[in-house]
Amino acid sequence: MFKALVLQQEEGNTVAEIADLNVDQLPEGDVLVEVDYSSINYKDGLAITGTGKIIRDFPMVPGIDMVGTVLQSESSEFTSGDKVVLTGWGVGENHWGGLSQRARLNANWLVKLPEGMPAEQSMAIGTAGLTAMLCVMALEDGGVQPEDGPVVVTGAAGGVGSVATAILAKLGYEVYAVTGRPETSGYLTELGAEVLVDRKDMEEKARPLEKQRWAGAIDTVGDQILARVLAECCYGATVAACGLAAGFKLPTTVMPFILRNVRLQGVDSVYCPKERRQQAWQRLQQDLPDHALTDIANTIGLSESIEAAQQIVAGQVRGRLIVDVNR
């Protein structure tokens, strides 16, 4: 027997509880993993609270991130005792996820934990950190260099924004951090942000082209803020867009793309190919400052995950929430 957070639906409402399960109840997969840690992401928060239509088939174990040890494997790629990490692939949405002490998974979803990286640290990174690293790599692919000028990060106090800020600062970029929470100013400065930008200023409707400010950008929110970022981009800038917390619309024109040669690069971490995913994990071990993880992450127990989900949906959580599934 083992414990897991299980979501059920009763009279159209999502009900979350910590339940005792046995291995026979796990869904199909070719690798059985003993889970050490998971995390609570915004998507997990929506699933657990029933706020968003994330889960369509019940019962479901949420948790889009996990790290643990292989117990059994039918795949030649993994053997018993291997440390593995998983993010994305619809796990925690369409397939039982990481908020559980055991998980049965498909081998092609798993990546070996980089040698020397502690399991808990990998969940301080998680989907948010992987997404942030992929965004930084997208800026590099677009030719954005530290000497080109400031890079702006929107939603900077969130999970993706926090990791992106820390990585960019370590790599030598001048980081402008957009936040609507003044209480996070010290936190963002410690991560390496040189200038803080009030979210209200970025929410103002932009003209097709504004004064050139940004050599690059990582946007986690979308909608009007992304439109302003694009309008303020310098010639040849690259914008990595990975989120839509403010909305999925993009009220802009083609002028930044045509007249300033701006590149808008979408970034997906859910179905990111395995080779690039492995590259990103290696880069995270190399380019994410150790102190940043201490600043970014807090660890809770599995029993606290339901309340934490409510807090993250309410916007009361900064950085990353790690879940120790064995406490």
Domain check: are 135 and 262 in the same one?
Answer: yes
- For the entire predicted model, the pTM comes to 0.89
Q: What is the pLDDT of residue 199?
A: 95
Looking at the structure, tell me whether residues 206 and 317 fall in a common domain: no
CA atoms within 13 A on the CB side of 187: 22
**Orientation of helix 159-170 relative to helix 119-141, angle to 10°:** 70
Nearest Cα to Cα of residue 212 among 224, 192, 228, 196 = 228
Asked if the structure places residue 241 within a domain, the reply is: yes
Give the CATH number for residue 205.
Answer: 3.40.50.720
**Integer Cα distance of 122 and 131 in angstroms:** 13
Q: What local confidence, expressed as pLDDT, does residue 65 receive?
A: 96
- Together in a domain, 235 and 165: yes
Q: What are the DSSP calls for 160-176, one per residue?
A: HHHHHHHHHHHTT--EE
pLDDT at 295: 76
Q: Are residues 36 and 84 in the same domain?
A: yes
SS3 61: coil
- Per the structure, the count of domains in the chain is 2
CA distance 141 to 136: 9
Residues 96 and 155 in one domain: no
Asked whether residue 282 is assigned to any structural domain, the reply reads no
Q: Are residues 130 and 103 in the same domain?
A: no
Residues 213, 148 share a domain: yes
Residue-wise burial string across 296-315, b where 16 or more C-beta atoms lie within 10 A, e elsewhere: bbebbebebbbebbeebbee
User: What is the domain extent for residue 199?
Assistant: 126-266
- Residue 320, domain member (yes or no): yes
Q: Judge whether 271 lies within some domain.
A: no
Angle at 239 between CA 233 and CA 240, to 5 degrees: 165
Residue 279 counted as domain residue: no
> Do residues 31 and 163 both lie within one domain?
no
SS3 of 256-281: the string is HHHHCCCEEEECCCCCCCHHHHHHHH
Q: What is the pLDDT of residue 151?
A: 98
Q: Are 261 and 207 found together in one domain?
A: yes
Quick one: 194 and 230 in the same domain? Answer: yes
Query: Residue 315's domain is classified under what CATH number?
Result: 3.90.180.10
Q: What whole-number distance in Å separates Cα of residue 43 and Cα of residue 41?
A: 5
- Run means of pLDDT, 10 residues per run, the chain, 327 residues: 96 93 96 97 92 90 97 97 96 96 97 93 92 98 98 93 95 97 92 96 96 98 97 98 92 97 97 94 91 83 95 84 95
The four Cα atoms 131, 136, 142, 148 give a dihedral, to 10 degrees, of 150
152 and 131 part of one domain: yes
Pairing of strands 31-40, 263-266: unpaired
Q: Is residue 120, in this structure, part of any structural domain at all?
A: no
In a domain, 273, yes or no: no
Query: Which of the listed residues 266, 283, 316 is the one where a domain comes to its end?
Result: 266
Domain identity same for 235 and 311: no
